[in-house]
Amino acid sequence: MNISSNFDSGNIIVQKDDGHGSFWLNIRKDTKSDHFQWFHFRLSGARGVECQLVITNASEASYPEGWEDYDVRASYDRENWFSVPTTYEEGKLIWHFKPEHDSVFFAYFAPYSYERHLGLIHSSQHSPDCRHIVLGQTHEGRDLDMLIVGNPKAKRRIWVVARQHPGEAMAEWFMEGFIDRLIDDSDPESLVLLKNAVFYLVPNLNPDGAIAGNLRCNTLGTNLNREWAAPSKEKSPEVYYLMKEMDKTGCDLFLDIHGDEGLPYNFVSSIEGIPSFDKRLKNILDKFLNKWKECSPDFQTRHGYPKNKAGEANLSVGSKQIGERFKCLSMTIEMPFKDNADLPDEYSGWSPERSMNLGRGILFPIRSVLRELR
């Protein structure tokens, strides 16, 4: 029996292996950072063996509350992921599993691979409404891919960005669903949007961190979502190049796609605390949220982060900085690592499929506020 993680987004350290199916494991820290929570590894040679897997440093993770009522995800083929009953006891994450096949993968959430990312970019550009450009390069020399979809002469400019935090893989699953529907020339929702707006889409802003198996940082140890007030080529080239392009195009709506470790709900964190938040922005925000609730039972507004008081928003955070910089509707969209407690799925928990469906469904609330954007 063997555990390995030397692959795209792999992360685990074997502390002890008793040779009979019990493994004591640690999650490796993010590159040049103390953050950690993402894990992804393969167990091989254990077919038919009742295995016990214990992550011994779970209580030291960035968000230990994320382990409460959480289930590990597993897959035999890396396409279909399912939940494994998991307990969090005395600071350790523990699960038992008897593999039906020779190899099985375990992960914090169903990974979104760099290979799939490249496939998404290159398949999307076949649409006559879609162009691909490279914003710049990461610290490790990877391209920062952006898709431009829609009417380039349209006045309304909509930016959607995902995976500032690389371990939040559900964010790119969301983007895949969103992009697939947006470029569907038989979908009336997308036809209206693409006639009246241009979309700037960045499915993965942190490919270095994603490939490294990091939770929250790029491979320079930088949390990108605290860099928006003053990004630099040295620490945060990803945000630096994106904002350079955004300053050229302008922005009327900004959606920053994330995942939350603790809360078992889909929710948003918006711009109530920025200095420029006014009645106009409040009305647009309220309409957007109400329309999203109408079309998607997976979205709700009862649970979420506390709203910032007036003038107290942290402008180093992406959605807050962009809302203030462009005086526009801007929000962080959060999905769960656990499950949606309003509509639980015992088999898979919150999943790639549910993430993609949420991405598809957001076209309606965007269209609902399109005329108010400026």
Residues identified as active-site: 334
Neighbours of 163 (CB within 10 A): 29
Using alpha carbons, select from 244, 13, 229 the residue that is nearest to residue 136: 244
CB 11 within 8 A of CB 41: yes
Neighbours of 119 (CB within 10 A): 12
16: buried, middle or exposed (CB in 10 Å: 19+, 13-18, 0-12)? exposed
Q: Which residue shows structure tokens 């350790």?
A: 92
Sign of CA dihedral 14, 63, 219, 265: positive
Give the C-alpha separation, 109 to 39, whole Å. Answer: 8
CB 52 within 8 A of CB 18: no
Please give the structure tokens belonging to residue 308: 């910032």
Using alpha carbons, select from 355, 29, 65 the residue that is nearest to residue 217: 29
Residues 20, 39, 28, 216, Cα dihedral to 10° = -170
Neighbours of 291 (CB within 10 A): 18
End-to-end CA distance of the chain: 59
Cα 236 to Cα 52, 60, 118, 314, distances in angstroms: 40, 26, 22, 18
Q: In 3-state terms, what secondary structure has residue 267?
A: strand
**Run of H or E including 275:** none
Sign of CA dihedral 111, 113, 114, 120: negative
In sequence order, what DSSP letters do the residues of 24-86 get, joined into one string? Answer: EEEPPPPTTSS-----EEEEES-TT--EEEEETTGGGSS-GGGGTT--EEEESSSSS-EEE-E
